[in-house]
Amino acid sequence: MTVSTRFTQRFELATPIALAPMALAAGGALSAACARRGALGLVGGGYGELAWTQREVTLAYQLLQDAPIALRRLGCGFITWKLDEDASALDWLLDQAHTPAAVMLSFGDPRPYAARIRARGAALICQIQQLSQLPSALEAGAQVIVAQGIEAGGHGVNALQGRSTLAWVPELADALASQAPQVMLLAAGGVGDGRGVAAALMLGADGALMGSRLWATQESLAAAGAKQQAVQTNGDGTARSAVFDILRRKNWPAPYDFRAIRNALHQAWEDRIDVLAKDPQAARADYDAGVQAGDFSRAHATVGEAVGLIHDLPAAGELIERVTLQMHQQLQRFGPQG
């Protein structure tokens, strides 16, 4: 069974899956592995650190130099408000001989960067968390919109203002159908296996952006101890708050906060966030010591609610094949009946 959507056709994909460009985790090896197995591989340019982006994008290019189709599936993603401070990593990316398949922008106004991305021939992907963010993404000329639900790991809109994937995706699909029917849609947040990808298609999306499950693979740059903690954690075990942003000295703007495993240090502060924000020094020292020691009762593991679907740490290519097969099986269950 072959699943063909506008998304797979546009990016020459064998499966309607995109790797979420997770900062400091979705490096060159993971992105290349996903692209080689038919998904869209987005390097996690994240905070726009030039040296990191140069190293990981170059590695991905090297790993795919023997696979021209896979190379055409390679792109990068950035945190937009960090580009507002320093866009040198984006400028470097767009100055390379290879044209990125796509550049994904999240968490800020994409319009200041849209023209240079389009001029380079890359598709613009904009991730949004609220319907109010759609007009600026469309004005920027986004070819793909990512609907991120609050189930997602890492950064997203807080629980008070965010949306749940199950209701958010079809509402946004309807909005795009009436306002910009040519624009494609990806679902993100809680998609951890082939059932989630199939559900995204049924909700009206053209594909799915997968983060946490691909974070827990051999090629991911996430710490080994963090991955092992994820394998041992069920879906009740994450929380969305500002705790780890404060501890990591990340000055994220409202309304964004951070979902990770709700470990002992998080639990110690999650009901006292105002106190932590006013006097974080001791807690930061505790967190820093945990990172140094690889102690994930204090250091953070960046996964979302799909952590309950993580039971092993396979190679990324193997996982893509597994998820795609399960997606096919789910879709066949509701296909034509003899």
Instruction: Write out pLDDT tens, residues 178-227.
Output: 999 999 999 999 999 999 999 999 999 999 999 999 999 999 999 999 99
Model confidence, pTM = 0.96
pLDDT in tens, 252-304: 999 999 999 999 999 999 999 999 999 999 999 999 999 999 999 999 999 99
Sorting pLDDT into bands at 50, 70 and 90, what band is 334? confident
Mean pLDDT calculated for residue range 231-254: 96
Residue 306, in any domain of the structure:
no
Q: Is the Cα dihedral 177, 159, 42, 84 positive or negative?
A: positive
Q: For the residues 38-57, what does the mean pLDDT come to?
A: 95
Percent of the chain with pLDDT over 90: 96
Res. 46 pLDDT band, cuts 50 70 90: confident
Apex 106 CA angle, 105 and 109, nearest 5:
80
The whole-number pLDDT of residue 204 equals 98
100 and 207: one domain? yes
Instruction: Judge if 185 and 273 occupy the same domain.
Output: no
* Same-domain pairing of 32 and 161: yes
Residue 305 lies in a domain: no
Q: Is residue 182 part of a domain?
A: yes
**Secondary structure of residue 39 in the 3-state scheme:** coil
Tell me, what CATH number does 315's domain have? 3.20.20.70
68 occurs within a structural domain:
yes
Tens of pLDDT, residues 63-100: 999 999 999 999 999 999 999 999 999 999 999 999 99
Residue 11 has pLDDT above 90, yes or no: yes
- Do 179 and 318 share a domain, yes or no? yes
Question: Same structural domain for residues 321 and 216?
Answer: yes
CA distance 338 to 328: 18
17-19 β-sheet, strand order? 17-19, 207-210, 184-188, 144-148, 123-128, 102-106, 74-79, 41-46
| Per-residue pLDDT, 338 | 38
pLDDT above 70 (res 1): no
- Structural domain of 190: 6-221+311-333
pLDDT at 43: 98
Work out the pLDDT band at 58, boundaries 50, 70, 90. very high
How many distinct structural domains can be found in the chain? 2
Write down the pLDDT at residue 2: 77
Distance CA 256, CA 82 (A): 13
Tell whether 167 is covered by a domain.
yes
Is residue 129, in this structure, part of any structural domain at all?
A: yes
Q: Please report whether residue 20 resides in a domain.
A: yes
Q: Is the pLDDT of residue 131 over 60?
A: yes
The whole-chain average pLDDT of the chain stands at 96
Residue 189 sits in the same domain as residue 237: no
Which residues lie below 8 Å from residue 65, measured CB to CB, with a gap of 6+? 71
